[in-house]
Amino acid sequence: MNNRRPIRVLVVDDSPTMANTLTALLTEDPRIEVVGRAGDGNRAVQLARLLRPDVITMDLLLPGLDGPAAIAAIMSQSPARVLVVSAVAEQRGVDLGFQAMSAGALELIGKPNVTNVEELRRWGKDLAHSVCLMAEVPVISRRARTGAVTPPPIGARVDVFGIVASTGGPPALAELLSKLPKDLPVPLLVAQHITVGFTQGMVRWLSQVTTLTVDVARDGERLEPGRVYFPQDGQDLLVDSTGLARMQPSRGGPCPNGDVLLASLAQAFGRRSGGVVLTGMGEDGARGLLAIRKAGGVTFSQDEATSVVYGMPRAALEIRATDQGVPLSSLPELLLQSCVPLNFRAGGGRGEGGVGR
């Protein structure tokens, strides 16, 4: 994209007050120009087709077409980068957010719940920063891809898998988890970058597409096979030396932090650890994946053709944390090939750790 011209943004919100606020906050950034506003889903589809904006900020609880339906129509008629800006306090809005991501939205951002002017301006700067980042994401239809991929090393057996994802991650997680059996012999721990307030909605949404049990982990919880664990809002998820789930407050940077999760698995489980880095912007997860590889564990990253954003998987390949990019459709089988039924046991040293029962 040519950075010398403004990033053209369409604001979609049925509240004139919120639309005015978003417009004012976004246009404080000289890189951004608001080229249109829509107060309902049908008008949003029409303006997306007429204006061809670079980025659309999209509310979800709209008159006429709701947010997910409007996004689906936009992506079929005049594809654009869509950032959902939704009220976290409304459960229906949070749930619709993940339907919107399935329809093609790139990111979920909670509406500001502040009255302090300075806090509102800080939120606006974060939103503008997200818009500028998203403007760099290619708007293309991702191609399904199949083909031969290298299986896990002979004799590699994994007791636990960590999965890291960011932009485009929720739909990728939905596809991956939907293809794994209920009797999956290992637990899965996930670090999906997400705005505070959306975790429970993501857990509810993913629970509808998989036979695995999906939940938010509790500090000190013993990990069980066939379960998928997410961290609590604003927390990093990791495991301690005995294989128990632990929470720690996020220390800045991506939240939850994928490097923290994967490095803890490498430390606790050594060669019995596994890691996957999925679609996302930036480099989170690459160093943690390398730690698993150096410990003798199994590592994978999503390939470019099936990634919405190829930043994190590329970073993992560049530091040789894994050997090849893998199509998303191949990851479930590769993960299964890496696992065997487990004898979960407490304790265990580096490289032989068990998930205690």
| Pairwise CA distance, residues 97 & 66, whole Å | 11
Give CA angle at 168 (68, 259), nearest 5°: 145
The C-alpha torsion from 163 through 169 and 170 to 173, rounded to 10°, is -40
- What does DSSP say about strands 235-239 and 245-249: parallel, antiparallel, or unpaired? antiparallel
Residue 331 exposure: Cα atoms within 13 Å on the Cβ side: 30
List, edge to edge, every strand of the sheet that includes 227-230.
213-216, 227-230, 188-192, 160-165, 273-277, 298-302, 325-326
Strand partners, 57: 11, 83
Phi first, then psi, for residue 199 (nearest 5°) are -60, -50
Q: Which residues contact 103 (CB under 8 A, 6 or more apart)?
A: 68, 69, 71, 72, 75
The answer to whether 163 and 77 have CB atoms below 8 angstroms apart is no
**Count of CB atoms situated within 10 Å of the CB of 42:** 16
Number of residues in the chain: 357
Residues taking part in catalysis: 166, 193, 284
| Pairwise CA distance, residues 226 & 211, whole Å | 9
**Count of CB atoms situated within 10 Å of the CB of 337:** 14
Distance of CA 277 to the CA centre of its chain: 10
The answer to whether 288 and 312 have CB atoms below 8 angstroms apart is no
The answer to whether 263 and 343 have CB atoms below 8 angstroms apart is no
